Structure 1
């Protein structure tokens, strides 16, 4: 009886091992597909409406834009760099108070709006004071997506971005 149990277990294990091996070999074929799918789902953010109002002084300036994420994978804006300042901060506005935050969510199949009176990017300690018509280069860094270089158009201080939903 003991040998019979062992033989039955050995047969069952052999069958399971054969199924696992055949499952793995067919999975490895689709594994590269799922790896490709994961790479295809890597966020590739796009930016529209990027601008900076002409700074009032050489101490600080704001930057505004819409960061769109058409992928099925959520991401986070984690840092911003620019030759114009060594100190760029990501700010959120809550209860009419702005505060620096370490990151901001860029939702899957959604967008992050950085706008006046709301969430935005702050340049602290400008190296230069750009004028209307100038362009300021920044690089957005994300948790998952590759960095994105953006050119901000320097606009009049009173400039208001057009609401894309107003059509």
Structure 2
């Protein structure tokens, strides 16, 4: 081997090593992606086909904060993310899901609104939605359709403090 061939081979090996290292860092970026877990997902039976709400707890099991940025479903083409502030409901572009924390979508607070339903689900039905996040992969969730008066917070034990 002459000096030129040796330099070319060394450059090729350096380039290969650089690609391998960058490939490893790309996969570690994937490992830093937030992981979402959903519990308690339900929809009260809608009164009509005009609108419905969805409630659940979204738990972020990672050290990276994220945002709920959208929701899709075959039940409606118009799903909105709402928050309630000063007793007024308003549509927002996203809701924060804190690192190692949770986002509670509950009656009287933040929630998902279905506008213009394609059908009216009944108690016992299941409605599938897909939650979309800024960083985490989408999550498919089945909402249990419950009685209109269903409220999981009312049946949960209280700490004795009035809120």
TM-score, normalized by length of structure 2? Answer: 0.79
CA distance in 1, matches of 2:122, 2:72: 20
Aligned residues: 143
Task: Identify which of 97, 105, 109 aligns with 1:114.
Answer: 105
Deviations 1:42-93 (A, max 9, x none): 0111100000000011100000000000111111111100000000000000
Q: Which position in structure 1 is the counterpart of 2:146? A: 155
CA distance in 2, matches of 1:30, 1:166: 52
Larger Cα Rg: Structure 1 or Structure 2? Answer: 1
Task: State whether structure 2 residue 69 is matched by structure 1 residue 69.
Answer: no
How far 1:130 sits from its partner (Å)?
Answer: 0.3
CA distance in 2, matches of 1:58, 1:160: 21
TM-score, normalized by length of structure 1? Answer: 0.77
Unpaired stretches in structure 1, ≥5 consecutive residues: 1-25
How far 1:38 sits from its partner (Å)?
Answer: 2.8
CA RMSD of aligned residues (A): 2.4
Task: Identify which of 37, 40, 46 aligns with 1:49.
Answer: 40
Task: Identify which of 89, 92, 102 aligns with 2:93.
Answer: 102
How far 1:37 sits from its partner (Å)?
Answer: 3.7
